[in-house]
Structure 1
Amino acid sequence: MKENRIIRVNGQLGGTLFRQEARQKGEKLGLMGHAQIEPNGDLRIDAEGEPDVLDTFVDWCRTGPEGTDVQSVRVTDGEVQGFDRFMEVR
C-alpha cells in the first residue's frame, strides 16, 4: 500500500545538488513526488511509494550525495497525493 512521507533535510546541501540527486534517487527507486529548497535553505521532499522503499530513500537522505553535509533529517507521514512522477520544484 502506497504511503507518503514528508522529509526535511537540513545542512550544507550543495545548492541544488541534493535536490537533483534526490530526484534521481527517487526515480531509480520507483518513487513519486517532488523535492524543493525551502526559503530557509532546507530541502523538503514529498515522496510516495511502498513503505520499505520509502525507508531506503530516507536512509539515503541521512547521508546524501557526496559533497553535502546532512545535519538533520525530519520525517513525518503525509497524505497520499497521487504524484505521477518525481520532479524538482524550483
Structure 2
Amino acid sequence: MMVRRAVVVSGRVQGVAFRNHTQRTALELGVRGWVRNLPNGDVEGCFEGEDAAVRQLVDWCRRGPASARVDRLTEREERHTGEFGSFEIRY
C-alpha cells in the first residue's frame, strides 16, 4: 500500500547533515519525496512510498544521524499523489 507522510523534526537537526542522511536513507528504502531546513531550525520532509518503507524512514528521523539530537517529531498522513520521481534535498 502506497502512503504519504509529512514530518517536522525539532532539536539539533540543522548543521549535522540531517538532510543528507535522510536522503541517503530514503534512497536505500526506495522512498520518494523531499527534505528541507526551515528558518526556525527544524527540518521538514514529505515522504511517499510503500507503507513499511515510509514507516522505517519516519522511525529513522526520530533518531537522526549520530551528531543530531531529535527532541520532537510531528507527523501527519496525507493523500498519496505519486508526484515525486526521486528523493531530493530542497533549499
TM category, shorter? over 0.9
TM-score by length of 1: 0.93
Identity of aligned pairs, percent?
31
Question: Could you list the runs of 4 or more consecutive aligned residues of structure 1 that deviate by over 4 angstroms after TM superposition?
Answer: none
| 2:77 equivalent in structure 1 | 77
Partner of 1:87: 88
TM-score normalized with structure 2 length: 0.92
Match of 2:34 in 1: 34
Aligned residue pairs: how many?
90
Structure 1 residues 36-78: Cα deviation after superposition (integer angstroms, max 9, x where no partner): 0111111111000111111111111111101000000111011
Aligned to 1:15: 15
- 5+ residue gaps, structure 1, are none
Please tell me the root mean square deviation across aligned C-alpha atoms, in Å: 1.1
Note closer, same or farther for the CA distance 1:33–1:16 as it changes in structure 2 (3 Å cut): farther
